[in-house]
Chains A and B, each alone.
Chain A
Amino acid sequence: MADAKSGMRDLARRVRDKVGGRDSGLRARVERLEKELEADRQLHRKIAELSDVVTELLIPIQDRDEARVNEVLSTYRKSI
Chain B
Amino acid sequence: MTQSAVPTRASAGRVAINDAGLFVAGATAESPAILVHFDDRHIWSFTGADARPGRGGISIAWPAVLLPYLDGRTRVRLTGPDGPDGAVVYCDEEHRFGSGEGRIRFADEAGHPYAVDRMGHLTRSFEATSADIKREILEGTQVVLRELRERCGVEAFLSYGALLGAVREGGMIGHDSDTDVCYFSHHTAPADIILETYRIERELKGLGWDVLRMSGGDLKVIWPLSDGRNCHIDIFSSFVTGGVFYMLGEHGGRFDVADLLPLGTVTLDGHEFPAPRHPEALLVYLYGESWRIPDPGFKPHIDPVVMSRLDGWLRGFRYQMGDWTALLRGTAGPSSPVPTAGSDFAAWVAGQVEPGSAVLDLGAGNGRDSVYFAERGHRVLSSDYSRRSAVEVHAAIRAAGVRRVRVRQVILNETRHVYRLIAVLSRRPHHIYARQLVGCLDEAGRDNLFRLGSATLRGGESMWLEFAVPRLGARAPEPAPLVRRVDPDVLAAEIAAHGGRVDHLEVARGVDMFDNPDPAVARMRVTWPAASPAARRGRAEMEESV
Contact = CB atoms under 8 A, between A and B. Distances in A.
Interface of A: 37-38, 40-53, 56-57, 61, 64-65, 68
A47 to B, nearest CB: 4
Contacts of A38: 308, 312
A44 B545 contact: no
Nearest to A69: B545
A52 B191 contact: no
Contacts of A57: 419-420, 423
B191 A41 contact: no
B316 A45 contact: yes
Interface in B527-546: 541-542, 545-546
Contacts of A42: 312-313, 316, 444
Contact of A44 (B190, B416, B420): B190
A52 B314 contact: no
B189 interface: yes
Contacts of A41: 190, 309, 312-313
Contact of B314 (A37, A40, A45, A51): A45
B419 A44 contact: no
Interface string B182-225: 00000001111011001000000000000000001000000000
Given A45-B313, A57-B423, A50 B546 contact: no
B415 A53 contact: yes
10 contacts: A45-B317, A47-B191, A48-B198, A48-B216, A49-B415, A50-B415, A52-B416, A64-B546, A65-B546, A68-B545
Contact of A45 (B216, B420, B545): B216
B419 A45 contact: no
Contact of B195 (A40, A51, A61): A51
Contacts of B192: 48
Given A49-B414, A50-B415, A44 B546 contact: no
Interface of A is mostly: helix
Nearest to B423: A57
A33 to B, nearest CB: 13
Nearest to B444: A42
A77 B92 CA distance: 77
A52 B198 CA distance: 8
B539 to A, nearest CB: 13
Contacts of A51: 191, 195
A61 B546 contact: yes
Given A56-B198, A68-B541, 9 more contacts: A38-B312, A43-B191, A44-B216, A45-B314, A46-B415, A53-B415, A57-B423, A64-B546, A68-B542
Task: List 10 tightest A-B contacts by C-beta distance, closest first.
Answer: A41-B312, A48-B194, A44-B190, A49-B415, A47-B191, A44-B191, A65-B545, A48-B191, A53-B419, A49-B416
A64 B189 CA distance: 32
Contacts of B312: 37-38, 40-42, 44
A74 B419 CA distance: 22
Contact of B191 (A37, A45, A53, A64): A45
Contacts of A50: 415, 419
Contacts of A68: 541-542, 545
Contacts of A47: 191
A57 to B, nearest CB: 6
Contacts of B189: 44
Interface in B217-268: none
A43 B194 CA distance: 12
B194 A44 contact: yes
A37 B415 CA distance: 20
Interface in B376-430: 414-416, 419-420, 423
A36 B388 CA distance: 35
